[in-house]
Amino acid sequence: IAAGLTIAVAGFAGRYALQAMKMEPQVKQALQTLPKTAFGGYYKRRFDPKMNKREASLVLGISKGGSPYLAAKINEAKD
């Protein structure tokens, strides 16, 4: 029984190795299309010791044009 299990495990391992070798070029191509860093779009410099309006807008992700939805919610909260 042990010899049969050993042969079966070796067969499955060999099959897996052959499939992995066939998939290697596709995996390499897929990895090259991924962005280099997960945080590529984030702010790369250090922040000042005291936060200013520019840094706050960077942290909160607020643009100069603003969002009508966000403006409506702020005005609603003011009332």
Q: In this predicted model, which residue has the larger pLDDT, 12 or 35? A: 12
Q: What is the pLDDT of residue 71?
A: 78
Phi-psi region of 61 (alpha: psi -120 to 50; beta: other; left: phi over 0): left
Instruction: State which residues form the domain around 19.
Output: 2-78
Write the CB contacts of 34 (distance below 8 Å, at least 6 apart in sequence).
none
User: In this predicted model, what pLDDT tens digit does every residue of 53-64 receive, in sequence order?
Assistant: 778 777 777 666
Whether the full predicted model's pTM is greater than 0.85, yes or no, is no
User: In this predicted model, what pLDDT tens digit does every residue of 21-56 receive, in sequence order?
Assistant: 888 888 788 777 766 665 566 666 777 788 887 787
As for how many domains the chain has, the answer is 1
